[in-house]
Amino acid sequence: MKWLAVALLLAGCAAAPETGPRPAALDGPTRLRLAADGLAVAGSGQVISFSRTEAGVVTAVTGLLGAAPDRRAGSNACHIIGWGGLALHFQTDDFLGWSETSGDVALTDGVAVGATGPVPAGVRAARDAQGQIATLSAGTLCPV
């Protein structure tokens, strides 16, 4: 019985997402931009493309945003690592896609959550009743 209680306690701990303070870098301008094929570094021409390794993507995004991720959720098979409203989706070790819900990070053309205009090919936009973008996404998303 004692072992069952310990197993249940550990299982609950493993499933809890990591949380922390909202990254300060997301309260101001960032060089990180969203792109249909991954993430872009504004003004550099560099792209963090889908299928890159998790460690490299997380290191690059952490450096660009100036803060560590504030949450992790899901399983090793498909999981999310996030900063504020930005969520990066990974399967095992591969970068699959991204979603953004806060307007903290804009697309390469400047379109962000809250806008009403069109989005580029390869980017999905979920809109609210007023036609404003509520969520932007690209690539494959985890069902977490």
The domain of 105 spans: 32-139
Q: Which two tokens stand for residue 36?
A: 């249909």
Domain annotation covers residue 70: yes
User: Comparing 133 with 15, which gets the higher pLDDT?
Assistant: 133
Domain annotation covers residue 7: no
Domain annotation covers residue 119: yes
Domain annotation covers residue 24: no
What is the rounded average pLDDT of the residues 62-72?
Answer: 93
Domain annotation covers residue 144: no
Residue 103's alpha-carbon distances to 3, 29, 72, 92, 93, in angstroms, are 46, 11, 20, 28, 27
State how many domains the chain has. 1
What is the rounded average pLDDT of the residues 82-90?
Answer: 96
pLDDT band at 87, cuts 50/70/90? very high
Q: What is the value of pTM for the model shown?
A: 0.79
Q: Taking 50 as the threshold, does the pLDDT of residue 47 lie above it?
A: yes
Residue 46's alpha-carbon distances to 25, 31, 41, 105, 122, in angstroms, are 20, 11, 6, 16, 18
Domain annotation covers residue 27: no
What is the rounded average pLDDT of the residues 122-133?
Answer: 95
Residue 33 confidence (pLDDT): 93
